[in-house]
Amino acid sequence: MARHLVCLTFDFDAMSGFISRGMTSPTPVSRGEFGANIGAARILALLKKYKLPTSWYIPGHTLETYPDQCRAVFDAGHEIGHHGWTHVPPADMTREQEEEGLVRANEQIRKLTGRTARGYRSPSWDLSPHSVELLLKHGFFYDSSMMGDDYTPYRVRRGDIIKVDQPAVWGKPTRLVEMPISWTLDDYPHFEFMRTKEWIMPGLRNYNSVLSNWLDDFAYMTKAVKWGVITYTFHPFVIGRGGRMLMLEKLIRKLKDGGAIFTTLEDAAIEYAKRLPLKGS
């Protein structure tokens, strides 16, 4: 029997993504505030309307800065996942800094939910050479930061050796489940204009063109695989604005009409692990 899962996921960065890049002046801070104070509430109302379970990846900075807004997400029944503490990518941290952030944010998640996070999504989707080891050490069940598939989860390897002048040497699969993502299914690069001293991200794409792309990716999944998962990634300060909210509702309605089964990323990962247990486990 065909079963096609859709995971709507939200990176609740608020201002953390801006300030981690040194953008601490009032205007970028206010962009993050919009997500916390306006966008998140609009999204939660829409999800309640359609009774959809979703997954929210919240940096520790957001958890500590906006406790009431984060409580509202949890009280609405959504999964709370780990998204670092500072929103600095793990690849830019030392092992000690990365682990400190894992522990600090996990403590805030435990205070909110009663347990530490089962799922992890790295800030900016850029893991470090230490990330897999640390995620296993701290009891994570799944990661959602890599792009080795589009519709099928897989086991994360540990111990890859990647050198420019030599063939890659692959490590061994671990118990950590990868729930793959893609920039093509992320609202941020499509819609946000971002300017720093070093680069410009133009964004500002037509809403309906992006919606068409996202629906086509789901349609292909229904043709390509009998069982699969597609993961969309949103940010409250991005998708929560004006016509983008209309687009999000259209996406939900059309996915439902197409037979989508909405679930949290954790539940999708559990379903995958039951379907394909790790050999030797």
60-88 pLDDT, tens digit each = 999 999 999 999 999 999 999 999 999 99
Structural domain that includes position 127: 3-275
Q: How far apart are CA 143 and CA 141, in angstroms?
A: 7
Q: Domains in the chain: how many in total?
A: 1
The pLDDT-based confidence of 202 (bands split at 50, 70, 90) is confident
Asked if pLDDT for residue 194 goes beyond 90, the answer is no
Instruction: Please indicate, yes or no, if residue 281 is contained in any of the structural domains.
Output: no
Whole-number Cα distances in Å, 262 to 96, 183, 224, 266:
37, 20, 19, 12
For residue 162, give the CATH number of its domain.
3.20.20.370
Count Cβ atoms below 10 Å from residue 268 Cβ, excluding itself. 25
Note the pLDDT tens digit of each residue in 92-127: 999 999 999 999 999 999 999 999 999 999 999 999
Contact 269, 142 (CB under 8 A): yes
Note the pLDDT tens digit of each residue in 209-239: 999 999 999 999 999 999 999 999 999 999 9
The pLDDT-based confidence of 242 (bands split at 50, 70, 90) is very high
The pLDDT-based confidence of 264 (bands split at 50, 70, 90) is very high
Instruction: Please indicate, yes or no, if residue 210 is contained in any of the structural domains.
Output: yes
What pLDDT, on the 0 to 100 scale, is given for residue 280? 65
Q: Give the gyration radius of the chain's Cα atoms.
A: 18
Strands 200-201 and 194-195: antiparallel
| 3-class state of residue 154 by DSSP | strand
| 3-class state of residue 258 by DSSP | coil
Provide φ and ψ at 169, rounded to 5°.
-115, 120
Asked if pLDDT for residue 281 goes beyond 60, the answer is no
